[in-house]
Amino acid sequence: EDQVTQSPEALRLQEGESSSLNCSYTVSGLRGLFWYRQDPGKGPEFLFTLYSAGEEKEKERLKATLTKKESFLHITAPKPEDSATYLCAVRKNTGNQFYFGTGTSLTVIP
């Protein structure tokens, strides 16, 4: 069964305390893996696309990496404004659907 699982469900960090969020997937034939940030009451905001194992993308304090089974979103020295829910999604080689995980709710405490 095609599935995307994110962990942990919730994460509380002190400002400056680096950590990683995990997205594991079981799909047959990955076309792309996508990371989004969602603030309360708003739509998801696109962050990164990763296509193949070994690929890495960076943006400010965020770095996304991809293996054959999972992706990590590394947050370096987070700030309170990084507090949000981070979603990952995958698209298969076949079909048109995107499969979303339930997200990791990140809280960064000043």
Partner 1 sequence: NAGVMQNPRHLVRRRGQEARLRCSPMKGHSHVYWYRQLPEEGLKFMVYLQKENIIDESGMPKERFSAEFPKEGPSILRIQQVVRGDSAAYFCASSSGTRSFEQYFGPGTRLTVT
Where on the chain is the footprint of partner 1 (CB under 8 A)?
Answer: 4, 31-32, 34, 36, 42-46, 49, 87, 89, 91, 95-103
Which C-beta is closer to partner 1: that of 34 or that of 75?
34
Q: Which is nearer to partner 1, 12 or 51 (CB)?
A: 51
Indicate the residue among 18 and 26 with the shorter CB distance to partner 1.
Answer: 26
Closest CA to 33 of 48, 11, 43, 45: 48
Distance, CA of 69 to CA of 72 (rounded, Å): 10
From residue 44, alpha-carbon distances to 17, 29, 40, 77, 88 in Å are 24, 24, 10, 23, 10
Judged by beta carbon, residue 23 or residue 75, the one nearer partner 1 is: 23
Among candidate residues 105, 106, 90, 84, the one with its CA nearest the CA of residue 3: 90
Q: Which residues pair with 53 in a beta bridge?
A: none
